[in-house]
Structure 1
């Protein structure tokens, strides 16, 4: 991942916290004809933080590659927002400014471990479900589904663990801009009608504190 020093996130705990927040990844592996990608939710294993858990539909062509336990790259990309130079105080001072894009992202590299055991697959599904449902007033649990129905659904998915060997992250949130420019971007984003803009503005405000 390319990330200038002012944007690079190095702390593994912070990177894992970003993954917990983002929860959805584009996972890429190499196939005979080039890179193959799948889009899926992934979570950090509660007992082994160096492992990410996920599953895809068995009908997904990527499963054939995942069964070979390949090296993989999981890309978690958070909210992003266009930043117009009109928000910079510097524009009014000297005009030497250009547009940019603010965002957060984490890359997790590692090796896939296929999970075929029914009990382990159910545990992966439960971990994903519990993570996604945690903030709900009445969380849904895997046990809420009829056992025979759940068994049939589990047969339709392929589970895996990604053993992470390298984590890289970038939080590009105008840290390289003067305070007045940063404040102008935050003001512009939080006033935007786009929810993603407002989320980036909130992240900028929190990280600056």
Structure 2
């Protein structure tokens, strides 16, 4: 991924925070059948190793299970909110007419080695933690115990766990940091009105950091 210095995010806590906020990722692989991409949610175990570990699961019928039978290098892409940025939102454009459209976003690329986990206890832990995390906001959270053990066991038999030891994290936060502070804030205000709350807040923080530097 091309990352200009002013868009680079290297703080581990910030990279982990994005993964936790946006756990639904693209798992990219390149095996004997060529390039492949799968879309699955991951759980981050941040305290393990230097950079953390990812846990998820795949359908047993997914050809990727055979591709990763012996492990291998993978890339997992986590993306936060993104949005089109119009030049009209920059105050400086109306003075100098030297702005063009762009697209702002935040993304983390997690490189690592994958290992398939085909034991029931691992799958129970992964599915249980994913369920607990994403049901937490519900007024009446669903639990695996809401279904019979036989039903859950039958479904667990249809999936395989995947564990990824993160070996490299690359973060890119393109938040108009290469613009004037007033332009960053101006674009953030429009994004706020459009409902892009997370991206607008990230841009406001970038403006404050630039103003204080």
Normalization by structure 2: what TM-score?
0.89
Is residue 40–residue 54 contact of structure 1 (8 Å, CA) maintained in 2?
Answer: yes
Q: CA–CA distance in 2 between the matches of 1:102 and 1:47?
A: 30
1:96 aligns to what?
98
1:36 aligns to what?
36
How large is the RMSD of aligned CA atoms in angstroms?
1.7
2:211 aligns to what?
none
Q: How does 1:1-209 map to 2 (within 5 A)?
A: 1-45=1-45, 48=48, 50-192=52-194, 195=195, 197-209=196-208
* CA displacement, residues 104-153 of structure 1 (integer Å, 9 cap, x when unaligned): 10000001111011111111111211222233343323233211110011
Q: Number of matched residues? A: 206
* CA displacement, residues 65-98 of structure 1 (integer Å, 9 cap, x when unaligned): 1222111000011111000101111211111111
Deviates more, 1:15-24 or 1:124-133: 124-133
Is residue 53–residue 128 contact of structure 1 (8 Å, CA) maintained in 2?
Answer: no
Normalization by structure 1: what TM-score?
0.91
Q: CA–CA distance in 2 between the matches of 1:133 and 1:146?
A: 19
Deviation for aligned residue 1:206 = 4.4
Aligned to 1:188, what secondary structure does the other structure show?
helix
Q: CA–CA distance in 2 between the matches of 1:85 and 1:10?
A: 28
Change (3 A) 1:80 1:128: same
Q: Where do 5+ consecutive residues of structure 1 fail to align?
A: none
Deviation for aligned residue 1:166 = 0.5
Is residue 26–residue 37 contact of structure 2 (8 Å, CA) maintained in 1?
Answer: yes
Change (3 A) 1:129 1:9: same
Is residue 37–residue 62 contact of structure 1 (8 Å, CA) maintained in 2?
Answer: no
Q: CA–CA distance in 2 between the matches of 1:180 and 1:14?
A: 24
Q: Where do 5+ consecutive residues of structure 2 fail to align?
A: 209-213
Is residue 57–residue 161 contact of structure 2 (8 Å, CA) maintained in 1?
Answer: yes
